[in-house]
Amino acid sequence: MAEDAGCRVGCIGAGNMAQGVLRGLLLSGKVQPKDVTVSAPSDRNLRTFQDLGCHTTHSNIDVLSGSSVVFLATKPHVLPGVVKEILPAVTSDHVIVSMAAGVTVQTLEDSLPPGTKVLRMLPNLPCMVQEGAVMFCRGHWAGQEEADLLKSLLSSCGLCEETPEAYLDIHTGLSGSGVAFVYMFAEALAEGAVKMGMPSTLSNQIAAQTLLGAAKMILKTGDHPAKLRSDVCTPGGTTIYGLHELEKGGLRATVMNAVEAATERARDLGKR
Ligand SMILES: NC(=O)c1ccc[n+]([C@@H]2O[C@H](COP(=O)([O-])OP(=O)(O)OC[C@H]3O[C@@H](n4cnc5c(N)ncnc54)[C@H](OP(=O)(O)O)[C@@H]3O)[C@@H](O)[C@H]2O)c1
């Protein structure tokens, strides 16, 4: 299964992450809508996939019979029931890819037939606009071929890296939850401008573009953020005055604490 062309993709669960990831796959042209089958209990989210030309069903088992790569995209607490339900239909030809936060490869492998090729991925919300940050790891029976296939498929969703499983909870803190931290920063940035007299619609747009531009600079130059920050600071200029206020407010320590807290919470949830 080295080639992703002609790959038949299934997805159990049709919510935000399923839509984000599958939209990326479809837009890339690597997967055709006719080769995608998605299941969910209600029609609420399935309609989006019907509009995209994908097959939809209320039967999770049906997804297995039509697909070689199967994404598990339900909430983590629903996953054990789903795995139990699909168990009789899982074969050694399937590649099972779980998106559920906190559900370990070990737990998945223990619940599936021995020899099942299992991978675990963690997407984040910007996968919906093909600017996601995805980390994945593989289980005992998933080889380089399956990892290459998944990486090739997911490259259309944004940045995609294979890592040791231990990094996945950290990725949840840094990037899964991190998206919300960035939204809060964007909101505060824009509200500062509103306070100074700029209309909110304009300040929100400018704040978002500022984050986008700053992020692109980090990725394109490869420079450490501290160097880029220092480059903006003219001695005695506006930026260093603003940065001093951020330091007084403990921005850096607060953000580090937030990543730590979210990571610990992901680890905690994974143990349950
Ligand atoms: N959102 C994030 O930023 C994020 C980041 C990293 C990882 N994740 C992981 O991604 C997974 C999905 O999250 P989400 O935000 O996409 O959730 P979501 O929007 O709530 O979607 C959940 C989907 O699961 C479906 N579902 C519920 N019970 C089911 C069952 N028994 N069989 C089949 N489908 C069932 C729901 O069906 P209906 O359409 O009928 O309601 C819905 O389509 C979670 O495990 C989460 O941990 C999410």
> What are the pLDDT digits (tens) for 86-105?
999 999 999 999 999 889 99
Among 119, 123, 147, 118, smallest CA distance to 134 is for: 123
d(CA 109, CA 86): 14
Q: Look up residue 172 and give its DSSP letter.
A: I
- pLDDT for 6 beyond 80: no
In this prediction, residue 5 carries a pLDDT of: 55
pLDDT given at position 1: 45
19 CA to middle of ligand 1, Å? 10
Protein residue with its CA nearest to atom 5 in ligand 1 = 124
CA count, 13 A, side-chain hemisphere, 148 = 8
Ligand 1, atom 48, lies closest to the CA of 17
Confidence check: pLDDT of 113 > 80? yes
Quick one: which atom of ligand 1 is closest to the CA of 40?
A: 34
Q: Minimal CA–CA distance to 10: which of 103, 84, 74?
A: 74
Distance of CA 240 to the CA centre of its chain: 34
Residues lining ligand 1, Cβ inside 6 A:
12-18, 39-42, 44-45, 60, 73-76, 78, 81-82, 99-101, 122-125, 176
Please state, in angstroms and rounded to a whole number, the distance separating the CA atoms of residues 225 and 239: 15
Between the alpha carbon of residue 11 and those of residues 99, 123, 162, 181, 259, the distances in Å are 10, 14, 21, 29, 30
pLDDT tens figures, 215-232: 999 999 999 999 999 999
Residue 12's DSSP bridge partners are 39, 72
Q: Residues 183-213: pLDDT tens digits?
A: 999 999 999 999 999 999 999 999 999 999 9
Going by pLDDT thresholds of 50, 70 and 90, the confidence category of residue 4 is low
pLDDT band at 29 (very low <50, low <70, confident <90, very high): confident
CATH numbers and ranges of domains, the chain: 9-165 (3.40.50.720), 176-271 (1.10.3730.10)
pLDDT at 2 over 60: no
Output helix, strand, coil percentages for the chain, rounded to the nearest 5: 60, 15, 25
Q: Which of 73, 75, 74, 212 is nearest to 131 (CA)?
A: 212
Residue located nearest, by CA, to atom 20 of ligand 1: 15
